[in-house]
Amino acid sequence: MIIGLTGTLGAGKGTVVEILKKKGFQHYSVRKFLIEEIEKRRLEVSRENMVLVANQLRKMNSPSYIVEKLYEKAEQETENIIIESIRTIGEADKIKEKGGILMAVDANPEIRYSRILIRQSETDNVSFEEFLGEEKREMFSINPNEQNLSGCIIKADFILENNKTIEQLEKQVDEIIGKLTRKKQIIGKRKDYISWDEYFMAVAVVSSMRSKDPNSQVGACIVNKKNHIIATGYNGFPIGCNDDSLPWNREGKKLETKYPYVVHAEANAITNATGKLDKCRIYVPLFPCNECAKLIIQSGIKEVIYLSDKYKETDEVIVAKKMFNMSGVKLRQYLPENKTLTLDFCKLL
Ligand code: ZN
């Protein structure tokens, strides 16, 4: 379950977060994200700079940029998520688009001001008039990249009123969570889905099955930072070179063997790529040879994930490792979570 939390200044978003954390929700904070961003830019951590930097980021990317970044992070780690706080219409819509619940918390201005005085964090050091002025700036904007708290509150599925005690707030949260749990009966996601590593290594292995080489079949799968596959390949002769006319022998005179003709899986994948290879990673069932290592390095690929290193004593692999290390390409042996993966087409008929 994803809950996006919105609300006015000092309404008690932090308290709602604490209540939900007790119920097992993981907290992802826009504020923390922005403070890190402000510090990166060597600016003073103030509410004004937080609004400024947030609006800039949204303008440069999209109205829901920050929430999307947090969501991406959250998605990999946990199931029940609270994202705090939602401030633009784009962010509110994104939460709903992802199937999440938008929750708002509000309280009377005097109560909220007295709360922020007690809190006195680095961004809350203001008079009542300044407090109202700042709030006004954040309450409404026709620009989708700017803060629009009133618009977010209107879009909320649930509004919590926090004029009284924490216990009363907690009761309201309990009721909402109870209602949602009953309504959805929250069906958890499958637990036995394959991991990214397993998935891409499997694609590399399946690619190898296309190889016509009677002795060794190798595949490769290149993946970008977004976990999108941008290339696959397997060992074979160059395009237009007939598989039946050239030799597949491993031994004999050089010209009678496959070696001068065959293109390795990694080289095929690199030349087939449909996107930029820069900062990508390559999955290979077998550790690459020195020739492929050169291509991998030159293409900008930054990580090699391999299954077998059975030729580690050979000059080709020793040289490959030396070059990978010198050029900063990360090497990682993939240790399979499952020994086998079965593809049973008949089961799908
Ligand atoms: Zn090679």
- Residue 281's contacts (CB-CB under 8 Å, 6 or more residues apart) are 222, 223, 301, 302, 303, 304, 305
The pLDDT tens digits for 296-319 are 999 999 999 999 999 999 999 999
Q: What is the mean pLDDT of the chain?
A: 90
Q: How many angstroms from the chain centroid is the CA of residue 307?
A: 24
Report CA(326)–ligand 1 centroid distance (Å): 18
Catalytic residue among 122, 130, 266, 337: 266
* 261 HSE (CA, 13 A, CB side): 21
**What is the predicted pLDDT for the residue at 121?**
62
Task: Confirm if 216 and 287 have CB atoms less than 8 A apart.
Answer: no
In the predicted model, is pLDDT for residue 194 greater than 90?
no
Residue written as token pair 């990978």: 324
Report CA(291)–ligand 1 centroid distance (Å): 5
Distances (CA, A) of 277 to 161, 302, 346: 51, 9, 36
The 3-class secondary structure across 154-176, one letter per residue, is HHCCEEEECCCCHHHHHHHHHHH
**What is the predicted pLDDT for the residue at 186?**
54
129: annotated active-site residue: no
* Pairing relationship of beta strands 219-223 and 229-234 according to DSSP bridges: antiparallel
Report CA(304)–ligand 1 centroid distance (Å): 13
What is the rounded average pLDDT of the residues 226-230?
96
Report CA(262)–ligand 1 centroid distance (Å): 10
The whole-angstrom separation of Cα 215 and Cα 209 is 12
What is the rounded average pLDDT of the residues 268-296?
96
The pLDDT tens digits for 127-136 are 888 888 888 8
Helices (H) and strands (E) in the chain, counts: 14, 10
**What is the predicted pLDDT for the residue at 183?**
65
What is the rounded average pLDDT of the residues 117-128?
71
Report CA(266)–ligand 1 centroid distance (Å): 6
Phi, psi (degrees; rounded to nearest 5) at 5: -115, 130
The pLDDT tens digits for 1-30 are 889 999 998 899 999 999 999 888 889 998
Sign of the alpha-carbon dihedral angle for 152, 156, 161, 165: negative
Residue written as token pair 């009677």: 214
Task: Confirm if 279 and 224 have CB atoms less than 8 A apart.
Answer: yes
Distances (CA, A) of 187 to 155, 190, 230, 242: 25, 9, 33, 53
| Structure confidence at residue 336 as a pLDDT band (50, 70, 90) | confident
| Structure confidence at residue 120 as a pLDDT band (50, 70, 90) | low
| Structure confidence at residue 337 as a pLDDT band (50, 70, 90) | confident
The whole-angstrom separation of Cα 48 and Cα 55 is 11
**Lowest mean pLDDT: which of 101-110, 162-171, 299-308, 330-339?**
330-339
The whole-angstrom separation of Cα 250 and Cα 259 is 7
Report CA(297)–ligand 1 centroid distance (Å): 13
- Residue 102's contacts (CB-CB under 8 Å, 6 or more residues apart) are 3, 4, 6, 86, 92, 95, 96, 152, 155, 156, 157, 158
